[in-house]
Amino acid sequence: MLEKAALTVLFLITFCLSTAVSEDQEFWRNKGISEINDALNIKHNTNVAKNVIVFIGDGMSLSTTTSSRIYSKGEAGFLTWEKFDNVGLLKTYSNDKYVPDSSCTATALFCGMKTNFKTTGVDASVQLNDCEASLIPEKRTSSIFSWAMESGRSTGFVTTTTVTHATPSALYVHTANRNWECEANIPANSKQCKDIARQLVEDLPGRNIKVIMGGGRQMLQSNSSEKPNDPLDRGACIRSDGRDLIEVWKKDKEDRKVPYAVVSNNAELNGMDESSEYLLGIFANGHLQKEFEKDEGPQGMPSLKTMTEKAIKTLQKNKDGFILMVEGGLIDKAHHSGNARQALDETRAFDDAVESALSLVDTKDTLIIVTSDHSHGMTFVGHLDRNQSIFGSVSTNIGNKTPYTSLLYVLGGDKNFQYEAKNGSVVRRDPTQDQTDAFEYSQQAGFHDDEGKHSGEDVLVYATGPMAHLVHSVREQTFVAYLISYAAKIGPAKDIKSDAASRYSACCMFLVLPVLFLLNTCLK
């Protein structure tokens, strides 16, 4: 709690300092010249990427990034990845939808293939729920993890969701429905298909992944126990077939005689045997708690920053390098429930993880990519004063003149759709009656639905390290997989030569051949 109180004080100090700067003409001239010099001094890193770390802020829209920057750094500050030299845009549509979900976008990011809504690790010929088609080898996609393993690199992922959830699953699974996280969700006529949890533990590349951390015990162990601070997720899959896949995972490592660690809380993670080559951390029945809810004590759940640090240190044991995926998955969950402060706080925690990773690796040989899988329907509107909280309210000059919060949702559930009867008519609730900066506050929404929904605009992608300069312009989301392939010399793009290099080679041959001919003639 002391750490969280200190964070609040730091936020207030940063905010005050950022708004107290005298931003006169000289200030902006100096800033502009400094930024031009920064741009002129950018140098391309053309090294091979020994390591790659991909950070996915699930549902992290541009509005989320901007408002999170103000929330945690002040508008004059920067989130860690906003200082990367290379920025581009990714188109997030799926094969069959303008607005995607996290499974088809993860397949695009990690496998380089657009696929259908709610399917994972299969191509676009596999329709949702078509188990039989998903079993056909030719319809299954390979991922950056498979490519990395073929080159001798280690792989790992950490997430604040379940380890079988949409985003991480695209690294190792082939399924016609992202919700088949355990056997209980698979229909009777599709039981020939393995659930996602079994594919992670039993199949390749899943069982060779060196680091796996997140939630999802109830998908891995039958009849998982429930605790007050770790309830079962009744809206998700709960395994009941008698299998204990954590024990299956352990036995596999014992049979192979490789050192491993299985951990379930802060104390076990911090006290793990540092010689372990394989690490399985399952910290919750369902998703992990959000940062503001976490118990930081020994029995609590680790932060995304801590998991990222442990993952990197474990994977760095391989001299050939590694590929790591880090997901801030609860940004999306907070947006779905219409809790803007929770979403911004999860983005702050995501930023902490990126900053920590940068301190542990060398970008001379490590490519770091930060992006989102899709956007969300939170918008940042109104002429909010810079001395106000990002969660503040804005006055309006029309209608009933009821203020509105600067952060709003297009769609929202019951708590977000805030209208009430007053003087014989239905009016929007005045947000100044509520504590709009509270973690539990639900920002107002324009339209009523069961929850907040994804949106279809492009997402930003940031990069630093080897071949990061290739990130620019507007690209398909699949570009990320091929960038990793090319930069790390793994997978289908590892042997690509640029057109410029090909032209240079052709030119050299054009010049060299006549010289060789003349030399040969003279020697005769």
Q: How distant, in Å, are the alpha carbons of 133, 183, 191 from that of 188? A: 16, 10, 6
Q: Are 261 and 211 in contact (CB under 8 A)?
A: no
| Cβ pair 378, 335 in contact under 8 A | yes
Q: Which residues are annotated as a binding site?
A: 58, 165, 167, 327, 332, 336, 373-374, 454
Cα 417 from Cα 409, distance rounded (Å): 9
Establish whether 102 is a catalytic residue: yes
Q: At what angle do helices 62-72 and 2-20 cross, to 10 degrees?
A: 100
Residues β-bridged to residue 278:
260
Would you give the DSSP letter of residue 120? B
* Encoded tokens for 227: 């605790």
Q: What is the rounded CA–CA span in Å between residue 32 and residue 309?
A: 36
- Which residues have CB under 8 Å from 204's CB, separation 6+? 146
For the record, the structure tokens of 365 come out as 């040989």
Burial of 227 (0-12, 13-18, 19+ CB in 10 A): exposed
Alpha helices in 112-255 (DSSP H): 131-134, 144-150, 166-169, 196-202, 217-220, 245-255
Q: Which residue type, as a one-letter code, is found at position 93?
A: Y
| CA atoms within 13 A of residue 408's CA, in its CB half-sphere | 18
Helix axes 340-360, 62-72, angle to 10 degrees: 80
Residue 291 in tokens: 């940062």
As beta bridge partners, residue 464 has 368
Contact, 479 vs 114, CB < 8 A?
no
Sign of the CA dihedral with 211 first, then 343, 461, and 386 last: negative
From the candidates 68, 102, 103, 337, which is the catalytic residue? 102
Q: Which two tokens stand for residue 290?
A: 């959000």
* Annotation: binding site for Mg(2+): 58, 165, 167, 327
52: DSSP letter: E
Compute the CA torsion angle 182, 184, 188, 193 (nearest 10 deg).
10
Binding residues for Zn(2+): 58, 332, 336, 373-374, 454
Q: Are 366 and 467 in contact (CB under 8 A)?
A: no
Backbone dihedral region for residue 297 (phi beyond 0: left; psi -120 to 50: alpha; all else: beta): beta
Question: Which tokens sit at 325?
Answer: 């995926």
Angstrom CA distances, 40 to 31, 36, 396, stand at 14, 6, 44
Radius of gyration of the chain (CA): 25
**What one-character DSSP code corresponds to residue 377?**
S
Residues belonging to the active site: 102
